[in-house]
Structures are given as structure tokens and as C-alpha cells.
A and B are shown apart, each in its own frame.
Chain A
Amino acid sequence: MTSRNTPPGPAAGVRGTGRARRAGARVVGGIGTSPEKRNHVVASTPDLPVSVRGLRKSYGSVHAVRDVSFDVAPGEIVGILGPNGCGKTTTVECLQGLRRPDAGEIAVLGLDPRTQATALRRRIGSQLQDSALPDRIRVHEAIRLFGSVGSSPVPVDRLLDDWGLTAKRRAAFGSLSGGQRQRLFVALALVNSPELVFLDEMTTGLDPAARRETWRLLERVRDLGTAVVLVTHFMDEAERLCDRLVVMLEGEVIETGTPAELIRRHGGGITATFTADGVEVGLVSGLPGVRSVRRRAGSLEVSGEPEALLHLGHALVGAGSLPSDLRVRQPSLEDAFFTLVGEGSRGRPGDGAGSGDPGSEGWATAGTREGVA
């Protein structure tokens, strides 16, 4: 439990850098689209990229989506999180007009996907789950074909260059690696300079390096100022990339907020562990914010609110004790997620790479472990 969370610093650092870069990039425009055009598009669409109220969709007697409401603001990356089968994919398919919802008010870029799907699809980009291309189609052919629907597609050469596919220009789709395919899919989703992009489980099945690569791509997409709806079940992905999260369980939205908000609300606080020769439990147990103190094998384990850490440090320094092995475990998004959806979701069989490791963190951490490795 502790090892994967010990170094929280780098993750936070990366996220901060991403945001800073993005803010800068928005001013100058971005890759693949001229600044003038981007500004024009943003200015002419005052509507929210996504506004959903009370979405409902059943397949026969199966209620895939019971009640889903959320918004996506311009330029925002919103992650939809939830265990498998909670209705994430159905939700985004309804938003794209690929499925007809039973009920609900939906506006995507101000359009109704039920009646204006054709007009809508020309303004959005899509990466669908379980959706491929013919094996023998070549990279440049696919880009040209998918660009043929727009009025001014990004030139093929520039898109190839942007997404590192120039060397694969004439390669057949079937010969591409998983990471290259994802890059091509993202490129295809962006060929018509969409105002909103839907990405459904775009890193599932990728090796760790390819996942990292795909994340960098997505950071570039948001640097363009494009709003993104990202469906994922990888917590590290959501924490690193998303501005806001929508957590779904059994067809309903059970929580929304920034990753930091979710961690604060549901993460369960910090835990500090240190060698505590000569330190009495009583010294720390009464400190503000401390919830529990446990002694185990010469160490003390202190759990509590985030502010407990500073009080703890102050108390230790005051007592003349300076443990050299103080380790602090920050709550992660994963902790918050499992608190939200229930521990029952942990280690569910068949849900991913974590299932072969009973008693450990379960499926949703597979990505974390890979990412660290």
C-alpha cells in the first residue's frame, strides 16, 4: 500500500508543469491549428462543450445509465472514472450521437446529438473503444480519408509530423505498434480541428512506455485549448491529465470535482511513519489533526488530516527527536476512488492486470505500477 505512494512529489510536479505549459500555449494558439482559427472557433461558440442533465439509457432490462449529469467547460479535460460496466462508454456514445438515450437533456457544442448528429460529428473528434481500421490501409490514406469530411483539414504532412508518424507515412495500419496506432487514432480525431474530443480508454492494452507517450500526446491536445472528455479506469492517468473528474457507479454520477478535491474529500488523510525510539505515543496522539497513532516494531505510524504533519514535525523537533527515516504517505486519487466506489471493486476478477495479484491493490493500480516501473 505504501510503496506506490511514497514519492508524491514527481507526480504533482509534472501536473504543475503541464498546467503552466498549457496556459502559455493557449495564448499563442497551438499545434495543428492557426491561432486565428482557434480564436474564431472559440469566440463563435458560447455554448458549453458538453452539458448533460438526467441522461438515461437501458438495453432491455439492463439499466446501463440511470442518471448522469455533468458539464464540460471550454478547454477543460474532464475524466469519466468508474468500474467496468458502470456506463462510462454508453454515456460518451450518447453524447456523440452513436446511441439514442432514453431520456435526458443533452447539448454538445450547443447541438442535440439525437437530431443533429451529422453536424455535431464534424465538430468533434473521437477515439472509440474497440474500433479499428482496415489492416491494409496506410497511415497517410487514413488521415486523408478522415480529413475529407472537413472543410479545411490539417495538412497530412503536418499532422504526421506533429504526431511522430512521418516515418510511418506509408506503413499499413496492421503493421503499427499499439502506441503508433493510438497516435494515429488521436491524429485522426484531430484532423478536422475539433472543438471537443472524446477519448475512450485510449491507453488500455498499451505497454508502460506507450501509455506515457499517449499521455504526452493528450497534454498536447489540451495545449491546443480543445476540450477533452477522457474515459479511463487508470487512476494515475486521471490524476495526471484531468482538470475535473466525474466518478460513475452503476449508471449514476456519484461525485465530481478536481483530482485534488476528491483526494481531500475521500482520500482518508496522510500517514507518517518513522523510527520512534524514546518518543511516547502520548506526545503525538493529542496533536491537532491526528486521528490515530500506532506503534509497530519500533516505529510509529501517525494518521490524520494533512495539517497533522506540520504539528507532528514541530512536536518531534521540540522533543529533540529528529528521525532520519520519516516517510509520509499522501492519499492518492486511487484511495479516494475506492472509498467512493467501495472496496468491493478492488481486485475484481477479469478487470485488468492487477487481478493476478490477490491481496494487493487490485485492477485500478495496474497502471500505477506500470507507470512507476
Chain B
Amino acid sequence: MTGRVLREASRVELALLLREPVALVFALALPVVNVVVLGAVFGDQPDPTEDVFRGVSGSTYYTPAYMSLVAAAVGLIVTPTQLAGYRERGVLRRIRASGLPVSAVLVSQVVVGLVLAVVGAALVLAVSFASNEPDVPADVFGVLVAFLLGTVALTLLGLVLGALLPTARAAQGAGVMLWFVVLILGGAGPPPDVLPDAMGVVGTFTPLRPLVIALQDPWFGNGWNVVQLLVLLGLGVASGAVAAVRLRR
């Protein structure tokens, strides 16, 4: 029975998402804009000093970083806006009162977030490889695992934001701001190695940094970065627990 609810809820959530142009712009278009802009600036130029772009070309450095931006847009903007809007308008109350498990609605947010992130990442990859010549990933499976884990973790973080922020407008405003902050500090804008020290330190505490590194390491042939994957796992578990407690009632 719960499976049927989850399937139905996911289908509805996906339909709602497709009718929500703002969410699509953030998740699908903004990262692609970054691909185009940063791709045009740095292109395929090799790393000037071997420690700016972690020893790879600009386009190779940025392509996995752009993927992380998609996950960040889903987790910081799309999911919180949707959930805060539900709470604001009493949708969750209605769902709870009708016997639909609220957990099904929450899990469907994660399911839909994953779908959206995969589509967004595919767009980013397509545009990146079309406009430049980044290296292909050394370990495709490793990149995939990092991306899926990171997206789920960030979407769960999005549930927490959606449970804390009072309205959809507040969630969207805060989400966009956060997205730009983690973009700049997290490693998807200026490479961390060229950030001033203080900013670099702050950047390590953004939820984006572990995902950027966990994507880049297998891509560049450095193997899986287990530490960063564990950080993402921890972020996901902690966020999921907080969201469950906050939204259980």
C-alpha cells in the first residue's frame, strides 16, 4: 500500500515540477550558464601551475564541478521551496489528515530531486563536452556513485531547509543566496586553491565542497575519495534524521 502511495506521490511531484518553470530554470539552466561562461573563460587551457585546477585543464576541472551545481540547485532551491510552500499552505496537514503517510511525500521529493538532477547533469555534460574538450572520467562508476550520493544528501538537506523556512518565498530567496555562496566558496567557481585562506577554510564547510571533490577524484583518476563520500553520507543521514523529526508531527 505504501508503495502505491509513493509511486503516486512521485508521479504527482514530477508533474508539478515540470509545471514549475522557476525550479527548472534554477536546476537546469543556471548550471548550464556557468558551463558556458566559465567554459569560455578557461576553456581547455592546461593548469598553469599544476595547483590551480588540481593539475588538469580548466574544462576538466569544471565539468564535475558543474554537476555538483545541479545537485546544489535541487537541494538548496527546488526542494526547500516546494516543501516550505506545502507547509505554508497547509498541504502537509491535509495529507496527514487524509491518512497519506507524510513520509511518502518526503521520499517522493528525493526521488524527484534525483530525476531532476540526473537530467540537469546530463545537460551540463552535453554542453560541456560540446563546447570544450574535457578529459573523459577515469572512473565513470565512481563519478556516478558520488553524484547520486551527493544529490540525495543535498536533497535531504533541502528537506531540512524546507522544514525550517516559513514560506516558499523565504525558501527560494534563502536558497538562491546559499546556492551562489556555495558556488563561490565550494569549488565550483574559483578553484579552492586560489581562494584567500579564510574563504578556503569556510568553503570546506559548505555542503558543496565534499561533493565537488568526491566527483573530481574518480574523474581525474585519483580513485574514490572515501572520506568525502562519508562526509556526504553523514550529511544525508543527519539531514534525513532532522527532517524526519521536524516533519513527523
Contacts and interface: CB of A to CB of B under 8 A. Distances in A.
Contacts of B9: 145, 148
A179 interface: no
Contact of A192 (B4, B20, B99): B99
Contacts of B91: 131-134
B90 A126 contact: no
A130 interface: yes
Interface string B92-106: 011011111100000
Contact of B89 (A132, A136, A141, A151): A132
Interface in A111-140: 118, 121-122, 124-126, 128, 130-134, 136-138
A121 B15 CA distance: 26
B86 interface: yes
Main secondary structure of the interface of B (DSSP, over half): helix
A121 B98 contact: yes
B80 to A, nearest CB: 15
Contact of A132 (B1, B5, B94, B97): B94
A148 B96 contact: no
Contacts of B11: 141
Given A145-B9, A149-B5, A151-B1, A136 B16 contact: yes
Given A118-B99, A146-B100, A151-B1, A141 B15 contact: yes
B113 interface: no
A300 B129 CA distance: 96
A327 interface: no
Contacts of B51: none
A131 B99 CA distance: 15
Nearest to A148: B8
B97 A128 contact: yes
A98 interface: yes
B97 A98 contact: yes
Interface string B65-106: 000000000000000000001100111011011111100000
Contact of B85 (A96, A134, A151): A134
A145 B8 contact: yes
A142 B15 CA distance: 12
A125 to B, nearest CB: 7
B12 interface: yes
A149 B98 contact: yes
A118 B101 CA distance: 8
Given A131-B91, A148-B5, A141 B99 contact: no
A202 interface: no
A150 B1 CA distance: 8
B100 A148 contact: yes
Max chain B Cβ within 10 angstroms of own Cβ: one of A121, A126, A131, A188: A131
Contacts of B89: 131-134
Contacts of B90: 128, 130-132
Nearest to B85: A134
Given A141-B12, A141-B15, A148-B8, A133 B94 contact: yes
Contact of A188 (B12, B93, B98): B98
Contacts of B15: 136-138, 141
A146 B16 CA distance: 16
B185 to A, nearest CB: 33
A98 B12 contact: no
Given A132-B89, A136-B19, A137-B16, A146 B96 contact: no
Contacts of B101: 118, 149
Interface of B: 1, 4-5, 7-9, 11-12, 15-16, 19-20, 85-86, 89-91, 93-94, 96-101
Given A118-B101, A128-B94, A145-B100, 10 more contacts: A118-B99, A121-B99, A126-B94, A133-B94, A141-B12, A146-B100, A148-B4, A148-B7, A148-B8, A172-B19
- Going nearest first, the 8 A-B pairs with the smallest beta carbon separation are A121-B99, A131-B90, A148-B8, A126-B97, A131-B94, A122-B99, A132-B89, A136-B19
18 contacts: A121-B97, A122-B99, A126-B97, A126-B98, A128-B94, A131-B91, A132-B91, A133-B89, A134-B16, A136-B19, A137-B12, A142-B12, A144-B8, A145-B9, A148-B5, A148-B8, A148-B9, A189-B98
